[in-house]
């Protein structure tokens, strides 16, 4: 629930819904981190291989 509220309404909404006084507690323990990253392999290839 906290992750959905964070993504849709922001961290403050998640914190308030859970009744936390600290945003850090909500962020560190209740909101799932985004684990998707952009593929930058083409840039790294140019840097290291020179293509």
Report the distance separating Cα 15 and Cα 6, nearest Å: 9
The position carrying tokens 């985004």 is 34
The answer to whether residues 26 and 11 touch, using CB atoms and an 8 Å cutoff, is: yes
Averaged pLDDT, 5-18:
96
Q: Residue 6 has which token pair?
A: 């964070």
* Mean pLDDT over each residue of the chain, to the nearest integer: 91
Identify whether 23 is part of a domain: yes
Domain assignment of residue 39, yes or no: no
Q: Does residue 13 sit within a domain?
A: yes
Q: Is residue 8 part of a domain?
A: yes
pLDDT at 10 over 70: yes
Does residue 41 sit within a domain? no
**Is the per-residue pLDDT at 51 higher than 70?**
no
Q: Quote the number of domains for the chain.
A: 1
What pTM value is reported for the model?
0.65
Entry field: residues in the chain: 51
Q: Which domain holds residue 6?
A: 1-33
């Amino acid at each position: 629930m906290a992750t959905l509220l964070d993504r849709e309404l922001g961290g403050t909404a998640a914190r308030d819904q859970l009744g936390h006084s600290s945003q850090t507690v909500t962020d560190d323990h209740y909101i799932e981190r985004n684990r998707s990253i952009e593929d930058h392999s083409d840039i790294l290839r140019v840097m290291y291989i020179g293509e």
